[in-house]
Chain A
Amino acid sequence: MAVAATEQPAIVEPTRAPRTRSSRRAGAGWVSYVQALPLALILACFLLLPILMITVVSFWDYDFASMYPDFVTMNYADTLGSWVTWKTYLNTLKYAFMVWALTLFIGFWVAYYLAFHIRTAAMQMVLFLVCTVPFLTSNIIRMISWIPVLGRNGLVNTSLVDIGLIPAPIEWLLYSDFAVVLAMVHLYTLFMVTPIFNTLMRIDRSLVEAARDAGANGWQVLTAVILPLAKPGMAIGTIFVVTLVMADFSTVQVMSGGQSASVALMMKNQMSLLQYPAAAANAVVLLILVLFMVAGILRIVDIRKEL
């Protein structure tokens, strides 16, 4: 099961790590700081500093060629005062909600099947790997692989026309909201499967037997025992999926054929026009929204307590 451990990133509270004898040894305290330093340095330089810089730049002035240090709230006023922005945010949230609902449904049943219906650990590992492998290949390739399937002359349309089910190809299969959501579900379901599978595997099987002995039927075991215990995994999966969809621009761009927009795509367009302060203001708003969503999810389910 060593592979299992590597394939299932679990969020684990660091302070609850088993205390070793060395922690009680005096004088070795500095070792931890040295060991943690590289991580802290990299995150400071490439995560904190850039976010700080974006916040600063979002108050700068700019023209077509360059940006100028200043303190103007114009970028925020432009962004938040525009009807297009609000529509784009709503559209992104709509994608996030639809993809979340679908990945949660698919993810739960796949994880449940693997955890409770596959009887040998080896088979579990093999099937889990079968699910994992595509997620380690290029997102863009997996996205464009839908084009020959969904296109006007694609596999689905030609087969349906050939059988005689539909008279003419369906136009909305590709370059539509449907295609965007489908591709996102395809890309992100594993981020739901893995954490749920991880929590389901930790459920003490005697709890299920106890429920059976107490007279619960299969449905009651599922809704009263397994589902409540799977919540932390669902929460972690939700965080992954929601943040990935909120940040997505390539899927929206390619799969909607340029007909739909997302917040990140709006930012990307501003960046290609060199309107960095405008993009930065958008980035700050998006970041705050995403962090609030994550905080909200962490409020509903206390991951730290339940893991």
Chain B
Amino acid sequence: MSHEKRGLEFFVLSAFFAMFVVFLYGPLSAILILSFQGPNGGLTFPLNGVSMHWFGNLFERQAVGDFGGSFRRSTALGLMVMVVTVVVSLLAGLAFRRKFLGATPLFYLAVASLVVPSIIISLGIGVVFQQIGFRPAWYSSAFGAHLTWTLPFGVLIMFAVFNRFSPAYEEAARDLGASSWQTFAHVVLPMIAPSLIGVGLFGFTLSYDEFARTLMTSGTYNTLPLEIYGMTTNVTTPVLYALGTVTTLFSFVVIAATLGAIVLVNRRRLRA
């Protein structure tokens, strides 16, 4: 069918797809533009002059609470979640390649982790910490709460990867005398590296943007999404949009860097 002439269906669906993309990006670009609102401008169009005023405002403590601190905490938490997600998902993916007692229940437990409403996990972990007598904090309780969201994604991606992975490569390596560890480090790992980078991206961005799971588990100090959520109710200036623009650009940079890394790894693998 690939050499047929484009029919009416193609043009209708192209228009539909274009509208979908506008729907996705339109509102985002609205706040991007409005974050350059003049000092006297408000929350809506038209632009009342163009300035960097609200970006400057972002870094004054009174205006937006603790933007710098919450950004640092969210980034640190995202990195922690990323590392643990990659390692644990990889190990679980390797484990599930063989049959073992309890494999199916564990698989369904991981799927259940996706399905259980986030606020229930938040409440549950909050109450558990309270009863044990631990103080909830972003690096302990919120860390665990985020893992219940990122790990199922990581594990499912690793399943998909290992399902398409031919054991012939490992068998060849073993026939050539490689030990289990050598087979893993020199054959398996380079082949699945792009997928692992993808899992890392999921781990970081899902954690960096996670909100509901952090609500009851962050303890004294807010993460960035909590800080932004607080602002939606009590900040009525474009500084909110400036914050939105900065965090969104940060996300874009992270995504672009990750995709770049995947392309680079793929290219290097093809050359080798």
* Residues in A lying within 8 Å of B, measured CB to CB: 2-3, 5-23, 28-29, 31-33, 35-36, 38-40, 42-43, 45-51, 53-54, 57, 106, 109-110, 112-114, 116-117, 119, 127, 129-131, 133-134, 136-142, 144-149, 151, 153-155, 158, 186, 189, 205, 208-209, 212, 218, 239-240, 243, 246-247, 249-250, 254, 264, 267-268, 271, 276, 279-280, 283, 286-287, 290-291, 294
Contacts and interface: CB of A to CB of B under 8 A. Distances in A.
Nearest to B146: A46
B97 interface: yes
Interface of B: 1-2, 7, 9-10, 13-14, 16-17, 20-21, 23-28, 30-31, 34, 43-45, 84, 87-89, 91-92, 94-100, 102-104, 106-107, 109-121, 123-128, 131, 144-145, 147-148, 151, 153, 155-157, 159-167, 170-171, 174, 180, 194-195, 197-199, 201-202, 205, 208-209, 211-212, 215-216, 225, 228-229, 232, 240-241, 244, 247-248, 251-252, 255, 259, 262, 266
Contacts of B1: 116, 205, 208-209, 212
A61 B24 CA distance: 46
Contacts of B31: 141, 144-145, 148
9 contacts: A2-B194, A29-B98, A39-B92, A50-B127, A54-B124, A138-B244, A140-B211, A144-B31, A276-B127
A231 B160 CA distance: 19
A47 B160 CA distance: 23
Contacts of B155: 39
A102 B174 CA distance: 51
A211 to B, nearest CB: 11
Given A144-B240, A286-B120, A39 B91 contact: yes
Contacts of B102: 36, 40
Contacts of A106: 20
Contact of A149 (B26, B225, B259, B266): B26
Q: Is the contact region of chain B dominated by helix, strand, or loop, or is it mixed?
A: helix
A46 B125 CA distance: 7
Contact of A11 (B28, B43, B111, B211): B111
Contact of A155 (B30, B109, B123, B241): B30
Given A5-B161, A209-B1, A290-B116, A148 B34 contact: yes
Nearest to B263: A3
In this complex, the member of A6, A137, A286 whose beta carbon has the largest number of chain B beta carbons within 10 angstroms is A6
B156 A9 contact: yes
Contacts of A290: 115-117
A11 B156 contact: yes
Contact of A17 (B27, B34, B113, B159): B159
A12 B1 CA distance: 29
B127 A54 contact: yes
Given A38-B88, A39-B91, A51-B116, A136 B255 contact: yes
B194 to A, nearest CB: 4
Nearest to B103: A14
B212 A23 contact: no
Contacts of A13: 107
Contacts of B94: 35
Nearest to A182: B23
B259 to A, nearest CB: 7
Contacts of B128: 49-50, 53
Given A6-B199, A138-B247, A283 B23 contact: no
Contacts of A8: 160
Contacts of B156: 9-12
Given A136-B251, A148-B34, A36 B96 contact: yes
Contacts of A186: 23-24, 27
Given A43-B109, A209-B1, 4 more contacts: A38-B88, A46-B147, A50-B124, A145-B30
Given A23-B98, A36-B92, A51-B116, A113 B14 contact: yes
Contacts of A109: 13, 16-17
Contacts of A36: 91-92, 95-96, 100, 102-103, 106
A48 B109 contact: yes
In this complex, the member of B28, B165, B205, B247 whose beta carbon has the largest number of chain A beta carbons within 10 angstroms is B28
Contact of B24 (A28, A33, A134): A134
A205 B4 CA distance: 14
- Pick the 4 closest A-B CB pairs, nearest first: A50-B124, A6-B198, A247-B117, A35-B95
Contact of A151 (B20, B43, B123, B266): B43
A208 B95 CA distance: 38
A47 B121 contact: yes
A249 B243 CA distance: 22
A253 to B, nearest CB: 9
A141 B119 contact: no
